[in-house]
């Protein structure tokens, strides 16, 4: 049982706030939704509007709104009649606006429509009229404004959905909003679907009432962590909270179990995770998580006691929770009250092993024929261990490039001499092949720098006379290390253990002396207290221990460390006269150092890196006059020094290159001495909430290459950039959060600027001079809500490769056809309304992200095939996953004359008819895993030797479960005929109006049967051959007879009389309208709703690049009709009128809308 203690539990922190009118929904829908959210482990505040007294909203409600991240107002018919509901809604809107995008409102329209909330009907306007009799005009005016604001937010209509079905989908949406960051899985690894499926089966997510633990065991390097990461990425969105504690064995040894407990609680959303000791952590986990459905991964566990202190009982977690543990140990812990499953990680199959090895040895998925025999021999010897395949393959790559088969033979001979179970000995072959410098750097990383950013280590190695950039590249190329997120070193635990074993084995040569590197605090304390052998020690860490944090270092302990180049302390202190101590120290990491410095004469003349982060020091700290004023110092890190209000006088540190003031929350001033730092290259003052401006003195330092001053949380932004910012001729990276002031024109003088990040700024515009940034490769305006348009000078950014306008207020893009280097455009969540046709000119474009672009109406068709990755889940059609997906490849089908896709020409890609086995494999994979919107990666993950396009077409045209097979009905015949008469052979558009029918199916049916059948009755002209009506029956009676059998209503079609139809406009179905029978037609895949097609003959259009073409535009329209009892359509009459669309060019634009309420 978890130990208890007497203390008052803090108030619950909520994630979701439900606001509803009790009499309307409490006993039905709201109750179902509330319990569905709670069952998913989501913390929900359910307001009880009926029991409140008085005139003011209670403190508990205010606190719940303040704590929650997601607000869910449930608009019912009497919602606006409740003053409490309106007060809550006003508070929710206010809290969202203050949150800088961290909070969201997800409205549900229960039995009130979006027009009711927008006050376009009598329902809520009547409620406000009643309120005007009781409340002040200002109050009612505020409520009116709040309702209108809420009406602008996209939400969901309950309509005819069952409560349980709706609640399930809504919970999924909320879970996605609350999700954690997914784990990186290197793209060079082979995704082992069978192994993932085996783990998924043991997790059994359908069994939602138990708490289950899956223990994955197997030898090191077999792929346990990679498997856990892959499944974590698949599942984390389905839980109320997720945590992945990587490399627990190492972390527990260095930082203690309390650190892991704290990390677990923080990952799972517990705000006040102030763990003081391990018993305290056990109590908090068991109390705070017992009602939360969570997914937790404990990676590389070697001590069962650790699990007892992190997940000792099933009752510590909410129903439906899943725990996954990876370990080399077969012994399984006791998991009281829960179910335990065991999965033994198996070696890779031969085909998978050969694929992985080939990727590293040849950069391809198959070995070349002249090296196939050697490759297969290596794969057989390594025994299917992914790590060994990766390392050995990387080492052999250079030999392959020189066609050196002799070296391959030597490697095979060396591997054959080592038993398969001795993985480290096999890995050591690659270590032994390194030169001396690369070996030293490898050992440094293995002992001290895993998960550490590389910059400081680079400075140390350079000071040692090494060539670290070359050595690090050599280690990366050899797959001995990796550079993960934010340029941090990462290393497989087997390689880490190999490096540490090599260091420990140094004592075999000289048993009386300590190792060169000491990373365990127990060993460090022992060495400090001894007299002999200290001259051997080059690196020492005393970073974590209850005893070591108060350890006092005197000259007696330090005098013999003649060669120490790295010292890491946490909370210790120096005492007494320290003259001549640590003469070769290059890097001092003294985190959490105390505010009182007790040493004297500690002059570290060779000190290059000083890290005092998270310390209690201020600008008056006595240590500045000694260790802080080293003339050789190049890096000073003061991260999270919360007592610092002003930087110290740094005029002595003339060689300083990096000054890090990140999260110094009380810093008010940067000392003027910074102006003397002529070598300064990097300044980071992010999160310094009281530092209002970029200091003018910085602009006198023409060597500065990077400035980062980003606001954090809900704090104030930097007020402005100095006018002299343009003098920084070497500035390459500028990242600032600006207030409402426009950046100065001098910003455009930064000719060396490569990256400009203005995320979260409140400015209203960019200066026209931005076009002068000729080297700019990255521009981010993420969450710049005040900017509505970009300056025309953007076209001059010829080097721009990535543009991020996600969550911004930008409604239109200027002409971008000149931005030929552009590869990525991120518009996610923006209010962009249309995409310029000139985007088709961007030949290097790889990714266009338009997810959650709810205002987007126009998308160019006939996009360049190089646009391989399009995230397009918006606009949402209806609810949740029922959404229209603009599938670019569908629109490219009409461009087949361009030739077969390059993916079909790859080696070993199968062509020709599909076999039943292939059909079964593709169908089974998609039904289990879906496509994830990424057809490009699907063949590999599904185990198919087909190109991605072939897989997509096979699924869309033959295997989808909702495909209609068999004869076409008369209704379908007439829909096809009518649409063909108006738009010609636009088969994908016609297919969108016939649910279940495929583009190929309709085209084949037309060519083989329907066209011949019609030849006996009348001839249908394709558009543009002559007057449209000549191909249809000529009299009203004939036309009426022609369309009389139609049961579904034909959507609105606006068709030009020209032979070239250039723009498709798809007006959204009005979800709140019950009068339009067009809703009987549902989209099949890409296009939905009424279609307006704009031709360029006789039209007047204004293009996105500023050019125009004057032509007279003729427009034929088939109107929406209501279905009548005799199934006849009424009012089939073309009308003619002109159209003018801003930004249309000489190719098609698809305009699509959303029936989600806005």
List, by residue number, the catalytic residues. 88
Structure-block tokens of residue 226: 């990679």
Q: How far is it, in rounded angstroms, from Cα 884 to Cα 872? A: 9
Give the helix/strand (H/E) hosting 1092: strand 1091-1095
Q: Which residue has the tokens 């005092």?
A: 612
Q: For residue 102, with 0-12 CB atoms within 10 Å meaning exposed, 13-18 middle and 19 or more buried, which class applies?
A: exposed
Q: Which residue has the tokens 């040569």?
A: 509
Q: How far is it, in rounded angstroms, from Cα 155 to Cα 35? A: 20
Q: Which residue has the tokens 């809703």?
A: 1079
Structure-block tokens of residue 699: 């602009």
| 793 Cβ contact list (under 8 Å, min separation 6) | 768, 769, 770, 771, 772
What sign does the CA torsion over 687, 693, 697, 701 have?
A: positive
Report the Cα 523 to chain-centroid distance in Å: 41
1091-1095 and 1061-1066 strand pairing? antiparallel
Q: How far is it, in rounded angstroms, from Cα 1086 to Cα 853? A: 16
Evaluate whether 18 touches 45 at the Cβ level (below 8 Å): yes
Closest CA to 829 of 846, 848, 805, 847: 805
Ramachandran category for residue 387: left, alpha or beta (phi over 0 → left; psi -120 to 50 → alpha) = alpha
339 cis-preceded (ω within 30 degrees of 0): no
- What is the DSSP code (8-state) at residue 900? S
Report the Cα 26 to chain-centroid distance in Å: 36
Q: How far is it, in rounded angstroms, from Cα 356 to Cα 375? A: 11
Q: What are phi and psi of 73, to 5 degrees?
A: -80, 130
Evaluate whether 471 touches 441 at the Cβ level (below 8 Å): yes
Q: How far is it, in rounded angstroms, from Cα 504 to Cα 499? A: 9
Tallying the residues shown for the chain, one arrives at: 1158
Evaluate whether 309 touches 283 at the Cβ level (below 8 Å): no
Evaluate whether 1006 touches 977 at the Cβ level (below 8 Å): no
Q: How far is it, in rounded angstroms, from Cα 747 to Cα 873? A: 36
Q: How far is it, in rounded angstroms, from Cα 1040 to Cα 1044? A: 6
Structure-block tokens of residue 916: 């039943």
- What is the DSSP code (8-state) at residue 755? E
How far is it between the farthest Cα atoms of the chain?
A: 111
Structure-block tokens of residue 861: 């068709």
241-245 and 294-298 strand pairing? parallel
């Amino acid at each position: 049982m978890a130990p208890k203690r007497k203390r008052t539990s803090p108030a619950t922190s909520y994630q979701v706030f439900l606001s509803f009118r009790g009499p309307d929904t409490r006993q039905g829908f709201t109750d179902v939704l509330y319990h569905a959210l709670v069952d998913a482990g989501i913390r929900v505040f359910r307001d009880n509007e009926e029991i409140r007294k008085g005139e003011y909203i209670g403190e508990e409600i205010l606190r719940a709104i303040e704590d929650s991240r997601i607000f869910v107002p449930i608009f019912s018919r009497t919602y606006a009649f409740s003053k409490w509901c309106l007060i809550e809604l006003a508070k929710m809107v206010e809290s969202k606006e203050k949150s800088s995008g961290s909070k969201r409102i997800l409205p549900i329209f229960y039995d009130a429509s979006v027009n009711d909330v927008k006050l376009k009907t009598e329902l809520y306007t009547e409620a406000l009229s009643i309120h005007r009799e009781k409340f002040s005009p200002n109050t009612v005016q505020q409520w009116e404004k709040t309702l209108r604001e809420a009406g602008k937010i996209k939400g969901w209509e309950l309509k005819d959905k069952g409560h349980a079905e709706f609640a399930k989908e809504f919970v999924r949406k909320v879970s996605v909003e609350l999700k954690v960051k997914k784990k990186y899985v290197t793209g060079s690894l082979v995704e082992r679907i069978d192994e993932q499926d085996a783990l998924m089966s043991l997790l059994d997510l359908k069994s939602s009432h138990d708490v289950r633990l899956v223990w994955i065991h197997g030898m090191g390097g077999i792929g346990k962590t990679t498997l856990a990461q892959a499944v974590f990425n698949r599942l984390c969105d389905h839980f109320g909270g997720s945590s992945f504690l990587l490399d627990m064995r190492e972390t527990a040894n260095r930082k203690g179990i309390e650190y892991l407990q704290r990390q677990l609680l923080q990952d799972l959303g517990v705000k006040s995770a102030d763990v003081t000791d391990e018993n305290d952590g056990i109590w908090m986990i068991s109390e705070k998580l017992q009602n939360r459905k969570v997914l937790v991964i404990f990676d590389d566990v070697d001590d069962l006691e650790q699990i007892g202190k992190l997940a000792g009982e099933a009752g510590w977690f909410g129903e439906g929770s899943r725990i996954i543990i990876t370990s080399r140990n077969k012994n399984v812990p006791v998991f009281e009250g829960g179910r335990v499953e065991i999965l033994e990680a198996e070696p890779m199959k031969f085909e998978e092993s050969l694929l992985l090895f080939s990727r590293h040895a040849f950069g391809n998925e198959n070995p070349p024929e002249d090296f196939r025999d050697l490759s297969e021999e290596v794969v057989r010897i390594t025994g299917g261990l992914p790590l060994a395949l990766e390392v050995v393959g990387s080492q052999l790559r250079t030999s392959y490039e020189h066609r050196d088969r002799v070296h391959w033979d030597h490697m095979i001979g060396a591997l054959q001499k080592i038993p398969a179970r001795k993985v480290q000995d096999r890995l050591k072959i690659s270590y032994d092949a390194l030169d001396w410098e690369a070996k030293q750097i490898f050992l440094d990383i293995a002992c001290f720098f895993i998960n550490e950013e590389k910059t400081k280590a680079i400075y140390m190695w350079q000071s040692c006379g090494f060539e670290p950039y070359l050595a690090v590249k050599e280690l990366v190329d050899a797959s001995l290390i990796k550079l993960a997120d934010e340029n941090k070193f990462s290393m497989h635990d087997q390689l880490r253990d190999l490096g540490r074993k090599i260091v420990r084995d140094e004592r075999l040569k000289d048993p009386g002396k300590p190792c060169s590197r000491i990373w365990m605090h127990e060993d460090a304390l022992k060495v400090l207290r001894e007299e002999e052998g200290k001259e051997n020690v080059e690196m020492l860490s005393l970073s974590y221990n209850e005893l070591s944090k108060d350890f006092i270092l005197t000259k007696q302990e330090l005098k013999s460390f003649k060669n120490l180049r790295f010292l890491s302390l946490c909370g210790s202190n120096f005492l007494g006269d320290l003259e001549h101590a640590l003469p070769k120290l290059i890097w001092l990491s003294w985190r959490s150092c105390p505010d009182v410095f007790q040493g004297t004469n500690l002059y570290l003349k060779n000190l290059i890196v000083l890290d005092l982060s998270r310390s209690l020091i201020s600008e008056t700290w006595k240590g500045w006059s000694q260790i802080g004023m080293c003339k050789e110092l190049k890096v000073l890190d003061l991260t999270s020094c919360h007592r610092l209000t002003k930087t110290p006088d740094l005029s002595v540190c003339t060689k300083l290159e990096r000054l890090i003031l990140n999260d110094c929350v009380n810093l008010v001033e940067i000392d003027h001495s910074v102006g003397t730092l002529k070598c300064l290259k990097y300044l980071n003052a992010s999160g310094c909430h009281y530092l209002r401006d970029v200091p003018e003195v910085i602009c006198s330092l023409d060597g500065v290459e990077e400035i980062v001053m980003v606001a954090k949380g809900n704090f104030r932004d930097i007020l402005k950039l100095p006018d002299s910012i343009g003098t920084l001729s070497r500035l390459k990276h500028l990242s600032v959060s600006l207030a409402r002031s426009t950046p100065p024109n001098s910003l455009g003088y930064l000719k060396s600027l490569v990256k400009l990040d203005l995320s979260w700024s409140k400015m209203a515009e960019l200066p026209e001079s931005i076009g002068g940034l000729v080297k700019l490769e990255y521009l981010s305006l993420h969450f710049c809500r005040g900017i509505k348009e970009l300056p025309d000078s953007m076209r001059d950014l010829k080097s721009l490769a990535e543009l991020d306008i996600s969550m911004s207020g930008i409604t239109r893009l200027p002409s971008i056809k000149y931005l030929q280097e552009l590869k990525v455009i991120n518009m996610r969540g923006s209010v962009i309304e249309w995409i310029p046709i000139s985007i088709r000119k961007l030949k290097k474009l790889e990714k266009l992200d338009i997810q959650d672009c709810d205002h987007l109406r126009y998308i160019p068709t006939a996009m360049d095939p190089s646009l391989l990755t399009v995230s397009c889940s918006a606009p949402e059609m209806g609810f949740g996953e029922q959404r229209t997906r603009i599938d670019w490849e569908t629109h490219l089908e009409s461009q087949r004359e361009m030739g077969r896709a390059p993916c079909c020409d790859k080696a070993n890609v199968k062509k020709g008819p599909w076999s039943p086995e292939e059909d079964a494999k593709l169908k089974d994979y998609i039904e289990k895993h879906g496509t994830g919107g990424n057809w490009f990666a699907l063949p590999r993950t599904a185990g198919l030797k087909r190109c991605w396009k072939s897989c997509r077409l096979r699924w869309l045209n033959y295997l989808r479960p909702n495909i209609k097979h068999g004869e076409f009905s008369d209704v379908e015949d007439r829909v096809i005929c009518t649409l063909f008469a108006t738009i010609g052979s636009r088969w994908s558009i016609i297919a969108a109006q016939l649910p279940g029918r495929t583009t190929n199916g309709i085209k084949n049916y037309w060519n083989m049967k329907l066209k011949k059948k019609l030849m006996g009755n009348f001839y249908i002209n394709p558009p543009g051959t002559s007057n449209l009506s000549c191909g249809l029956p000529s009299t009203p009676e004939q036309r009426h007879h022609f369309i009389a059998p139609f049961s579904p209503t034909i959507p609105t079609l606006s068709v030009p009389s020209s032979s070239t139809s250039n723009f498709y406009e798809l007006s959204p179905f009005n979800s709140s309208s019950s009068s339009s029978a067009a809703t009987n037609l549902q989209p099949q895949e890409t296009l939905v709703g009424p279609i307006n097609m704009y031709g360029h003959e006789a039209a007047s259009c204004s293009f996105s690049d500023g050019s125009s073409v004057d032509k007279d535009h003729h427009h034929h329209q088939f109107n929406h009709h209501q279905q009548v009892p005799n199934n006849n359509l009424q009012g089939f009459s073309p009308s003619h009128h002109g159209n003018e669309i801003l930004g249309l060019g000489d190719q098609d634009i698809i305009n699509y809308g959303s029936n989600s309420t806005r």
